[in-house]
Amino acid sequence: MIPPKPPARAARVSLWRYLRLFRTDILSAQPARLYHAWMAEFRTPFFRSYLCNQPELIDLVLRERPDDFPKSNRVGEGLRPLLGGAVFVTNGATWKRQRRIIDPAFEGGRLRDSFPAIVAAGEGAVARLNGLAQAMPTEIEAQTSHLAADVIFRTLFSIPIENTAAGQVFEAFKAHQRSQPVLNLAAFIALPRWFPRWHRRSTRQTARVIRALITQLTAERMAAIKAGTAPDDLATKIMTTADLETGERFGMQEMVDQVAIFFLAGHETSASALAWSLYLLALFPAWQDRVAAEIETVLGARAPEFSDLSRLRLTRDVFREALRLYPPVPMMVRETTKAERFRGRDIPCGSQVVISPWHLHRHDRLWDNPDGFDPARYDSENGKSFPRNAFLPFSAGQRVCPGAGFAMIEGVLLLAMLVRAYRFETVPERPPVPVAHLTVRARDGIWLRIIPR
């Protein structure tokens, strides 16, 4: 049995058909040859794009010379109404200053401090699912989105999802997801800064609502910091951290930008990874039984502790395999700042360099059984020896996601808590079809039956 993936398109289609496919689902817009090729070139009337699967090229772009390959501004165009100048879309000195302020909040000790908040969110999710168990099939992505949003608000602002402002942000974000395409027209045409960006009215409206709510939460926290009453959570840490080089701290507007990306990246990606993890365990019940047995041995009926994470090895490998098969961020786009030469081919300045975890993680030259679900692969020779640049769920190099460690702790812990409480079964008549929106989700949701253990 092979987990589902979208069908690849024909080797050749017209440009306009390709752009239409790309706008609605970048995964099915790609040809099958990309699962085998080390590099591929795409030409349009507007720019050239080069997809790189060869680990040595990825190492060059992400680790050896990252400043020569900044993040492409084209992809960020569709996200700017919500993110403004957040660390996700900036480059150069601005980005480096932002990371110097943000990174300390995600150091090892801070992850341990956040652990109780993740447990509390997991307990809330277990209680919510009890009302859905043994009833009609449940769309699990909606549940994991709720859970991931709860984690973000508890760890960032020390408030649960039931808080009025938190709940309003979550509802507004769901509306924003529905209105936001993967790429808008500005991603395909080199436009002057003054030219209109064709953002949908609904996209602009939901972004304004979300940013207004985040501004309210940020202002309240800044006042609490000034009064000496702020909790010691991620928001307080980030707002009170000064750049070691300049002494600057984030102002109100820049902090709103960062909170927006924390919510987008931390909530959307975690929800995607957890939903696919539960689906894969439902699709492969023998693996689910093994995970449940491990959880019973490690946790029993007691509350999880931070030290338990190192003993949940199979649970971790299941989550890792879900990240391999369904990486939340399927493609990353960089841009050349000067002429390059890749694999004997001249790459003009201003070209798009695409690194695709979706294709890399299923590449048939790098992985044994690339489309198969096999958590045991990480104990095999192939799993232990695959190039470090063949598995990039959180990017790599200086632009690796600052919350990568947080995401792994969150994913493994929540997966363990849910599987300990419930057994998950597929709904054969409603198989999920992966598509890429803001992250890799299912076109019509992931439907599962939930049965109490």
Q: Is the dihedral of CA 200, 92, 359, 324 positive or negative?
A: negative
Asked if 366 and 35 count as a contact pair (C-beta separation under 8 A), the reply is no
Torsion of Cα atoms, 349 then 355 then 360 then 361, to 10°: 170
Token representation of residue 309: 């994470």
DSSP H or E segment with residue 238? helix 234-240
Asked if 191 and 197 count as a contact pair (C-beta separation under 8 A), the reply is yes
Q: Residue 93: what residue type?
A: A
| pLDDT tens column, 240-250 | 999 999 999 99
Cα separation, 408 vs 319, whole angstroms: 8
Asked if 127 and 417 count as a contact pair (C-beta separation under 8 A), the reply is no
Asked if 35 and 358 count as a contact pair (C-beta separation under 8 A), the reply is no
Cα separation, 191 vs 203, whole angstroms: 20
pTM of the model: 0.92
Report pLDDT for 174: 77
Which residues have CB under 8 Å from 386's CB, separation 6+? Answer: 366, 367
For the chain, the structural domain boundaries read 15-452
Residue 395: count of CB within 10 angstroms of its CB: 16
DSSP H or E segment with residue 435? strand 434-436
Each residue's pLDDT, cut to its tens digit, for the chain (453 residues) gives 788 887 776 665 555 555 555 555 677 777 889 999 999 988 766 667 899 999 999 999 999 999 999 998 766 666 777 888 999 889 999 999 999 999 998 887 788 899 999 999 999 999 999 988 877 899 999 999 999 999 999 999 999 999 998 899 888 887 776 655 444 444 444 444 444 444 566 677 888 888 999 999 999 999 999 999 999 999 999 999 999 999 999 999 999 999 988 888 888 899 999 999 999 999 999 999 999 999 999 999 999 999 999 999 999 999 999 999 999 989 888 999 999 999 999 999 989 899 999 999 999 999 999 999 999 999 887 776 666 778 999 999 999 999 999 999 999 999 999 999 999 999 999 999 998 877 888 989 999 999 998
CATH code of domain 15-452: 1.10.630.10
Query: Token match 């790609």: residue?
Result: 30
Token representation of residue 325: 């098969």
